[in-house]
């Protein structure tokens, strides 16, 4: 019996403990590049907007809304006293629990929205008062006129994130503003935000 035990122990000791396991070295991590607008692109884009679409894409940029959130935004969701835009459930549209939130917005955006003609309960509606659902097509059309590459509504949200991070707003606050379920979703924007800070420091060294 002792002999069999000793033989078993020797056989175990000869095994390669890492055999068949996936190591960190073997794993391939991919991180999609975050695409954002620069100042020149934003200036060119907004120069080619009419007043209504100017308000639409400024709201994307300054509130960081998702497309569905903008399409379902009601005037009741815009609090001109508290200076916030609220993402709230609707009869025909339900955000996920963690997506419902209050978003602090700048005075510039509130001023733009105050001057916007009202077409019913929806902040952004078509001529019939129904939901405005053409922001993707409109974005591409305006971008082509402005010679801005790779433009789409979500790119305004990505720009919103990086601008907030670049200006010192902490990660947890940005997560709350975006309605992200977990911090990892927000952290993917850090590299893009930090790259500008690094560039500024490099330029300062050689100024």
Q: Where are the domains of the chain?
A: 39-201
On average, the pLDDT of the chain sits at 83
Sheet of 78-79: strands edge to edge? 78-79, 84-87, 101-104
pTM: 0.76
> How does residue 182 score in pLDDT terms, banded at 50, 70 and 90?
confident
> How does residue 204 score in pLDDT terms, banded at 50, 70 and 90?
low
Write out the chain in H/E/C secondary structure. Answer: CHHHHHHHHHHHHCCCCCCCCCCCCCCCCCCCCCCCCCHHHHHHHHHCCCHHHHHHHHHHHHHCCCHHHHHCCEHHHEECCCCEEEECCECCECCCHHHCEEEECCHHHHHHHHCCCCCCCECCECCCCCECCCHHHHHHHHHHHHCCCCCCHHHHHHHHHHHHHHCCCCHHHHHHHHCCCCHHHHHCCHHHHHHHHHHHHHHHHCC
> Rounded to whole angstroms, how far apart are CA atoms 125 and 132?
5
Q: Is it the case that residue 161 has pLDDT exceeding 70?
A: yes
More confident residue, 200 or 144: 144
39-201 belongs to CATH 1.20.140.10: no
How do residues 29-52 score in pLDDT, each as one tens digit? 334 578 999 999 999 999 999 999
> How does residue 7 score in pLDDT terms, banded at 50, 70 and 90?
low
How do residues 83-118 score in pLDDT, each as one tens digit? 999 999 998 888 887 789 999 999 999 999 999 999
Q: Is it the case that residue 166 has pLDDT exceeding 90?
A: no
Angle among Cα 49, 35, 25 to the nearest 5 degrees reads: 170
Q: Is it the case that residue 58 has pLDDT exceeding 60?
A: yes
Q: Is it the case that residue 2 has pLDDT exceeding 60?
A: no
How do residues 15-35 score in pLDDT, each as one tens digit? 554 444 434 334 333 345 789
User: How confident is the model over 64-81, as a mean pLDDT?
Assistant: 96
More confident residue, 90 or 183: 90
Q: Is it the case that residue 160 has pLDDT exceeding 80?
A: yes
């Amino acid at each position: 019996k002792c002999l069999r035990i000793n033989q078993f122990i020797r056989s175990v000791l000869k095994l390669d403990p890492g055999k068949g396991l996936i190591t960190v070295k073997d794993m391939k991590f991919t991180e999609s590049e975050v695409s954002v607008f620069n100042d020149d692109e934003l200036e060119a884009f907004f120069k080619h907007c009419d007043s209504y679409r100017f308000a639409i894409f400024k709201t994307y940029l300054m509130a960081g809304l998702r497309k569905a959130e903008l399409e379902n935004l009601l005037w009741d969701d815009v609090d001109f006293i508290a200076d916030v835009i609220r993402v709230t459930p609707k009869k025909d549209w339900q955000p996920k629990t963690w997506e419902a939130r209050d978003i602090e917005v700048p005075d510039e955006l509130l001023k733009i929205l105050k001057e916007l003609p009202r077409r019913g309960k929806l902040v952004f509606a078509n001529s019939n008062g129904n939901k405005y659902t053409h922001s993707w097509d409109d974005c591409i059309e305006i971008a082509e006129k402005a010679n801005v590459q790779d433009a789409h509504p979500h790119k305004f949200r990505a720009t919103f994130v990086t601008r907030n991070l670049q200006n010192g707003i902490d990660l947890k606050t940005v997560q709350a503003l975006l309605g992200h379920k977990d911090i990892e979703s927000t952290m993917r924007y850090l590299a893009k935000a930090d790259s500008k800070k690094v560039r500024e420091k490099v330029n300062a060294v050689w100024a």
